[in-house]
Structure formats: C-alpha cells, structure tokens
C-alpha cells in the first residue's frame, strides 16, 4: 500500500438530521478493504438528491454522514487489491459503486449491486450508506470498477457531470427510452436532468427535441445550449396542441421523457406520446401516480423507469471530446470548498438564483 496523504482531520459537509448540515472537521477516511482507494476531491457538486436528504426525506441516512456522490479527484492512497490505479492518478468518481462481480453488475444493473457496502442490492452508497464526496477526501470502494479516467481535453467540471447528471439523463431518458435516429422526442422539465437528456439525445440522432416547461428562460436556454429544437410553455392553454403540431401526422412524439417527478408531468407524457411510442420516467416521484391504463393500454405504449446504473461514462466522455455536446453548459455557479454552505444556499434557492449545477473546488 502506498500513500502520500498526511494528517488525520479534514473538512466535510456533514448531515446531522433534518435540515441540519454543517461544514466541519471530520476524521480522514481510511482504507477498509483491499479494493479501496482514497481520493483527494478536487471538484464536486450538489445534486437534488442531496436536498432530499437535507429535508429529511431519507431517514435511513445516519447522523454524521458526509453527503455527496459526484466528484473528480486525485488518488492519494491505494489498497493492496487495486490493479488499475496508482497514487497520483486523477479520476472521475461514479455515483454508483459497482463490485463488478455480482449477478447484477455482470448484467450492467450496477444500481442493484449486491456488494457488502451499505445496503445489499443498492449500488448508490456515496453520501447515503457510506461517506460521500462533499469533503476534502473520500474513500472509494471497488476502485477498479467505480472510477473513470479523465481523457485529455476534458475539464474537471465536464468530468464532474459524468458522475451522475449526464448518465441519469442519458441512460434513463435516452438509452432506456429507446430513442432512435430521426425520432421526435419531448422532455417535460427543463431543469438539470431534463437538459442532460436533451443534450445527450444527440448520441442517438434525435431529429426533433421539444422542451416543455413553465419557465420561458429555461426554455430559451434549452434551445440555445442544450440541443432543443423547439419549446412549448406548459402554462399555455394550447400547450398540448402546440406539441402535437410538431409531431409527424400530429400523432404524438416517439419518446416522452418525464424529468420533474410530479404526477401531472408523467400523466402529460402519456397524453403526448404516439401509439407504439414510449414514456421514459427520469424524475424521482415522492407520491403515487395514477395512470389511466384503461385508456392507454390499447395504444401499445411502453414505459421505462429506474435508478441510473452509471455504466455509460466512457460513451459520454467520448461525446464530450467529440464535441457532440457541451457538458459544461450545465454549470451555472462556482464556489470554493470552504464556501460549501453558500453553495448549498444557492442551490436550494435555484428558482431565484437560476442555479443548475454548482461546481465546488478545493484549492
């Protein structure tokens, strides 16, 4: 085992119960398993899931847990069983930890990794079951199968988007949504994950991308920077007619992506998808949703949903280096790591601050 780390105390964003987080001193992480590495976090960010934890929506998160599941950093310590990484290497951390050996990992369903970390059958563990990335250092389990190398020409902030937001939008919305060359798709919700779906639709050759939201500024942004070809304000009385007029024969979109997580947006996806099309649910729903199955079953509509597996990092990095999309466009604010609490305040008040992804760096 090699190490260039020093000291025993670091700073980290620590959860202490509902709406109680603090940037405070915390013991340095240690190698616990031979397949672990310790990473000095150079760049991290905040996810909507972190806000769910802050609000107390996930009571299984323990008092004292370090939050965060996205980041780019430098390896400073390597476990004896790690084969592909060495001290000094820089890496992107996947939001989903994958042992690479269990039945689910071999099927590419890493979100249900049966690893011994945290909860069995749950691949998302950073900032949830184990300490996360909103800290000066983090322990990374299963390093050989849970890290990505940073290609030349990819910045830290671009790489940080490959931890979670881009894989979520792409894998759950575009790939699993079955988007094909020449398709017309609609994305309801022009927030970060919806924009991630729009921009990565370029990887599948979507011909027409319709952004749907209540916010005209977000809609203009979707067209200017994220690959949307058309936009419709969901507050317009004739929003439905506007969407249908943009589809072939007025029959509906090939794929409708839900990227909000409230019942009405998912229900609206079923309204605008054509017979034989697909609804791809990306949003995290906190309440049951009633779907009129008596109406839609006869239209041969497919539906997909799920937790990101984060297995498409290489393809997404290639998309960035090839110039197919600009991941950095998701970033709106920058903070120093010692201003973590200000970063959270900005992200929590996104409606006023117009924040999407906030980048937090350690100097």
Per-residue pLDDT of the chain (363 residues; tens, 9 = 90+): 444 445 689 999 999 999 999 999 999 999 999 999 999 999 999 999 999 999 998 999 999 999 999 999 999 999 999 999 999 999 999 999 999 999 999 999 999 999 878 788 899 999 999 999 999 999 999 999 999 999 999 999 999 999 999 999 999 999 999 999 999 999 999 999 999 999 999 999 999 999 999 999 999 999 999 999 999 999 999 999 999 999 999 999 999 999 999 999 999 999 999 999 999 999 988 889 999 999 999 999 999 999 999 999 999 999 999 999 999 999 999 999 999 999 999 999 998 999 999 999 998
CATH class held by domain 172-305: alpha beta
Instruction: Using alpha carbons, list the distances in angstroms from residue 253 to 176, 223, 232, 320.
Output: 16, 18, 14, 27
User: Where along the chain do its domains lie?
Assistant: 2-164+310-361, 172-305
What is the CATH T-level fold of the domain 2-164+310-361, as seen in this structure?
A: Quinone Oxidoreductase; Chain A, domain 1 (3.90.180)
Cut 0.85: pTM above it = yes
Per the DSSP assignment, residues forming a β-bridge with 213 are: 233
Per-residue burial over 77-116, b = 16 or more CB atoms within 10 Å of its CB, e = otherwise: bbbeebeebebebbbbbbbbbbbeebebbeeebbbbbebe
Burial of 354 (0-12, 13-18, 19+ CB in 10 A): middle
Beta carbons within 8 Å of 237's beta carbon, 6+ residues apart: none
């Amino acid at each position: 085992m090699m190490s260039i780390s020093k000291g025993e105390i670091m700073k980290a964003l620590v959860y202490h119960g509902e709406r109680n987080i603090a940037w405070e001193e915390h013991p340095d992480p240690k190698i616990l398993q031979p397949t672990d590495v310790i990473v000095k976090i150079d760049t991290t960010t905040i996810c909507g899931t972190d806000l769910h934890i802050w609000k107390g929506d996930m009571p299984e998160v323990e008092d004292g847990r370090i939050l965060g599941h996205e980041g780019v950093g430098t390896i400073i310590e390597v476990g004896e069983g790690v084969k592909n990484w060495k001290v000094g290497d820089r890496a992107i951390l996947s939001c989903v930890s994958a042992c690479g050996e269990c039945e689910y990992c071999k099927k590419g369903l890493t979100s249900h990794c049966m690893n011994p970390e945290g909860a069995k059958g749950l691949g998302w563990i950073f900032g949830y079951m184990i300490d996360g990335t909103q800290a000066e250092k983090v322990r990374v389990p299963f390093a050989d199968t849970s890290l990505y190398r940073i290609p030349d020409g990819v910045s830290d902030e671009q790489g940080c988007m490959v931890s979670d937001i881009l894989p979520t939008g792409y894998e759950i919305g575009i790939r699993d949504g079955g988007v094909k060359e020449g398709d017309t798709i609609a994305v309801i919700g022009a927030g970060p994950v919806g924009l991630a779906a729009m921009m990565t639709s370029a990887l599948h050759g979507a011909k027409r991308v319709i952004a749907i939201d209540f916010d005209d500024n977000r809609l203009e942004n979707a067209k200017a920077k994220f690959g949307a070809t058309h936009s419709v304000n969901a507050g317009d009385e004739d929003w439905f007619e506007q969407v249908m007029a943009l589809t072939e024969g007025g029959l509906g979109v090939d794929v409708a992506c839900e990227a909000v997580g409230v019942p009405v947006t998912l229900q609206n996806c079923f309204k605008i998808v054509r017979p034989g099309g697909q609804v791809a649910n990306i949003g995290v729903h906190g309440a049951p949703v009633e779907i009129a199955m008596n109406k839609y079953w006869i239209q041969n509509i497919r539906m997909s949903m799920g937790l990101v597996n984060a297995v498409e990092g290489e393809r997404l990095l290639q998309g960035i280096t090839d110039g197919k999309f600009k991941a950095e466009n998701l970033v709106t604010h920058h903070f120093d790591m010692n201003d973590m609490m200000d970063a959270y305040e900005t992200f929590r008040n996104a409606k006023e601050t117009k924040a999407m992804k906030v980048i937090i760096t350690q100097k």
